[in-house]
Amino acid sequence: MKINQNLFAILGTFFLVAAVIYAIWTRGTEMVGITGLFGLAAMQYMVAYYLRLLDKEYKPGVDDKEDGEIAEYAGTYARFAPWSWWPLGLGAACAIVFLGVAIDWWIFIIGIGLGLFFVTGWVFEFSKGQHKH
């Protein structure tokens, strides 16, 4: 966890320096890039701070041990359904939502409805049929 904290802190510092250099280079006339780079720096620092808070609550991970081995990461992280069609439908619903943003609000509403349907189906796919727990 400490390695991740340091990585995000270093990235935050990099984006902060890049934002200052970019602001000087463009003489402050290009506000989108300057704001974006300062925003990136702020997000990196927020993630580093969040990881620092988590580090106080949880035990150290394998990557924090000096003698940690890659094989110690082995194990099951989650349960995945390779036969699931719900993510494909959700991706199509997201495409419809973005199409609705570009074209008209009624397409956006259809995309939101489809997205809710596919998210619900994906969440509850292990709660019915032969895969019920």
Instruction: Measure the CA angle with vertex 6, ends 75 and 21; round to 5°.
Output: 135
- Rounded to whole angstroms, the Cα distance separating 73 from 75 reads 7
Neighbours of 52 (CB within 10 A): 15
User: pLDDT tens track of the chain, all 133 residues?
Assistant: 788 899 999 999 999 999 999 999 999 899 999 999 999 999 999 999 999 888 777 766 666 677 777 777 776 666 677 788 999 999 999 999 999 999 999 999 999 999 999 999 988 887 766 655 5
- Rounded to whole angstroms, the Cα distance separating 38 from 21 reads 11
